[in-house]
C-alpha cells in the first residue's frame, strides 16, 4: 500500500516536473530570442557634444568636460548592455538535449547548476552514470529519481551521463565569451 502511495506521489512529481520543464522551456526560448535580438542590435552610440558654452570656461576646458561626460555616458550604456546580455544569456548559456530537459532540468536546472537537485557541473561521466544506476536500482534512495529512471534504458542513461559530463566545459566556454 505504501509503495502504491509512493508511486502515485512519484508520478505526480514527475508530471509536475514535466509541466515545470515545459514552462522553463518556453522561458528559455524567450530568453534565447532576447539574447539573439540583443546581439543583433549592438549599436554604437555617438552622443552629441554639448553646444552650450559658458563665458567663464575656455574652449579647452569645455572640450575636456564634454569628453568626460561622453565617456561617463558611454560607460553607463556599456554597463546596462552588459547587464542585459548577462541576464538574457545565463538561463540559456548552452544548449541541452530534449532528454535532459524533460527528465533533469526541473530539479537540476536548465544548465545543470541545481535548483532543488544538486549542481551537476564538473561531474565525470563515470560518476554520473554510477549515481544514475544507484538511483535506478534503489541502492540510493530518492523516489523522484527512482520513478524517472525506471523507464530509461542503458542507452539513455549513457547519453545523459555523457551530456552532463560536458557541462563544465560548456560553462567555461560560455564564461570566456
Q: Which domains does the chain have, with CATH numbers?
A: 2-42+95-176 (1.10.760.10), 43-92 (no CATH)
Q: How far is CA 81 from the centre of its chain?
A: 18
Would you say residue 49 has pLDDT above 70? no
% of the chain residues with pLDDT over 70: 79
Confidence of residue 87 (pLDDT cuts 50, 70, 90): very low
Extract the C-alpha cell encoding 128.
Answer: 554520473
Rounded CA separation 42/37 (Å): 9
Q: Each residue of 96-117: pLDDT tens digit?
A: 899 998 899 888 888 888 888 8
Is the pLDDT reported for residue 88 higher than 50?
Answer: no
Spell out the long-range contacts of 165-168 with Cβ–Cβ below 8 A and sequence spacing 24 or more. 165/123, 165/124, 165/125, 165/128, 167/94, 167/111, 167/112, 167/120, 167/121, 167/122, 167/123, 168/121, 168/122
Instruction: Name the average pLDDT for the chain.
Output: 80
- pLDDT of 123 reads 93
Give pLDDT, residue 99: 92
Query: Is it the case that residue 151 has pLDDT exceeding 50?
Result: yes
pLDDT category, 157, cuts 50, 70, 90? very high
pLDDT at residue 153 above 90? yes
At residue 41, the pLDDT reads: 67
Amino acid at each position: 500500500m505504501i509503495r502504491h502511495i509512493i508511486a502515485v506521489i512519484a508520478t505526480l512529481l514527475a508530471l509536475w516536473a514535466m509541466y515545470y520543464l515545459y514552462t522553463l522551456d518556453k522561458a528559455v526560448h524567450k530568453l534565447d530570442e532576447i539574447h539573439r535580438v540583443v546581439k543583433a542590435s549592438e549599436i554604437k552610440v555617438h552622443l552629441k557634444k554639448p553646444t552650450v558654452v559658458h563665458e567663464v570656461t575656455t574652449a579647452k576646458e569645455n572640450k575636456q568636460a564634454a569628453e568626460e561626460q561622453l565617456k561617463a555616458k558611454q560607460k553607463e550604456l556599456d554597463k546596462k548592455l552588459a547587464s542585459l546580455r548577462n541576464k538574457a544569456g545565463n538561463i540559456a548559456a548552452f544548449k541541452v538535449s530534449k532528454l535532459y530537459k524533460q527528465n533533469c532540468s526541473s530539479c537540476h536546472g536548465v544548465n545543470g547548476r541545481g535548483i532543488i537537485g544538486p549542481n551537476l557541473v564538473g561531474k565525470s561521466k563515470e560518476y554520473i552514470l554510477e549515481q544514475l544506476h544507484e538511483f535506478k536500482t534503489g541502492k540510493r534512495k530518492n523516489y523522484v529519481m527512482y520513478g524517472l529512471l525506471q523507464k530509461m534504458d542503458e542507452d539513455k542513461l549513457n547519453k545523459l551521463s555523457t551530456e552532463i559530463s560536458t557541462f563544465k566545459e560548456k560553462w567555461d566556454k560560455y564564461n570566456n565569451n
